[in-house]
Amino acid sequence: MELEMKRKGNLLILKVTGELDHHCADELRRRIDREILRTLVKDVVFDFTELTFMDSAGIGVLMGRYRTVSHLGGTTWFLTEGKTSYFKHVMKILEMAGVFNYIHKCKSLKECGV
């Protein structure tokens, strides 16, 4: 798992690549939470389009960040325009878990209002 964090105005872009499982979920959430608190951004957007593996640990990471961000009055976005065949699998898992009842889908960063 690799995490790339970029700030664009009030938005924190979180690109996670590689394999997201329970093994790396803990590190992932610690690094993201630290960055949210450090930069005091309002909104975050998750880019999971280049994951090569994800299981329910990914749901936990998304919903946990959603809680932190909502608490601080921000919005959590999720990029839905992945091109890999694995990304369909990621979407299937997240839809099944009802994640998009809380987290906003977006087709591009433009939609997140930056």
Give the interface with other proteins as residue ranges (CB under 8 A).
19, 21-23, 25, 29, 53-57, 59-61, 63-64, 85-86, 88-89, 93, 96-97
28: CB partners within 8 A, 6+ apart: 1, 3, 16, 20, 61
Token digits for 55? 């299981």
Q: Which is nearer to other proteins, 65 or 112 (CB)?
A: 65
What's the rounded Cα separation, in Å, for the pair 105 and 78?
Answer: 5
Q: Which is nearer to other proteins, 55 or 113 (CB)?
A: 55
As measured in angstroms, the least distance from the Cβ of 12 to other proteins is 19
